[in-house]
A and B are shown apart, each in its own frame.
Chain A
């Protein structure tokens, strides 16, 4: 039969509004988290990271929030622009436990409406 495409969660946001992308991570022992952005035709690019001893970290127009109690990570993008349209992935790992590769989430597709 014909292949079915992966149906990613999609968030549509009006240009200029704020975006919030959520991620539930799997391992309560994970101590380092990263958000990646993947534009069409490109590989994932690092946006921002956060360690488990923090609950909030801000970058340029982006903020990551970490809630370890419910294993939840969110990425907030202020004043969303058309160039923010992409798939966003969260990733987790244990930095202090030897060689543990990143584990990626399924991703959320952000569409910015001009």
Chain B
């Protein structure tokens, strides 16, 4: 285990469903990230939270909604997704932005 835990590991959802991805870090880090990794593109930064405030949102569609209730937890709420949203969603954390990220194992999402 890396200290960053993501649940669920696998998720299959219909285009009309609403689901949430969860990330929890036990490293005392103050920054958390959501990345999308798909077959067509390598790691794409989606959202960045620093001290529980969103500091970056890389033109991500509104059907993805992040939430960071505290420095240890990060959620990605999903609704009305499209098949092209099928990908591996990775959560990472770091201390400030000055050091390497620690990644979770990801959630493999399939939208049908």
Contact = CB atoms under 8 A, between A and B. Distances in A.
Contacts, number: 62
Interface string B38-55: 111111010010100001
Given A45-B2, A99-B50, A101-B33, A6 B100 contact: no
A12 interface: no
Contacts of B40: 3-6
B68 to A, nearest CB: 15
- Interface of B, helix, strand, loop or mixed by DSSP: loop
**Chain B residues touching A, range:** 20 to 34
B102 interface: yes
A4 to B, nearest CB: 7
B102 A46 contact: yes
Contacts of A32: 98
B33 A43 contact: no
Contact of A44 (B50, B55, B96, B103): B103
Contact of B42 (A45, A99, A106): A106
A34 B4 CA distance: 19
Given A3-B39, A3-B40, A99 B55 contact: yes
Interface of A: 3-6, 32, 34, 36, 41-46, 49, 89, 91, 93, 95, 98-102, 104-107
Given A6-B38, A46-B100, 14 more contacts: A4-B40, A5-B40, A6-B41, A41-B105, A43-B6, A43-B106, A44-B90, A44-B101, A44-B103, A45-B103, A99-B97, A101-B45, A104-B42, A106-B42
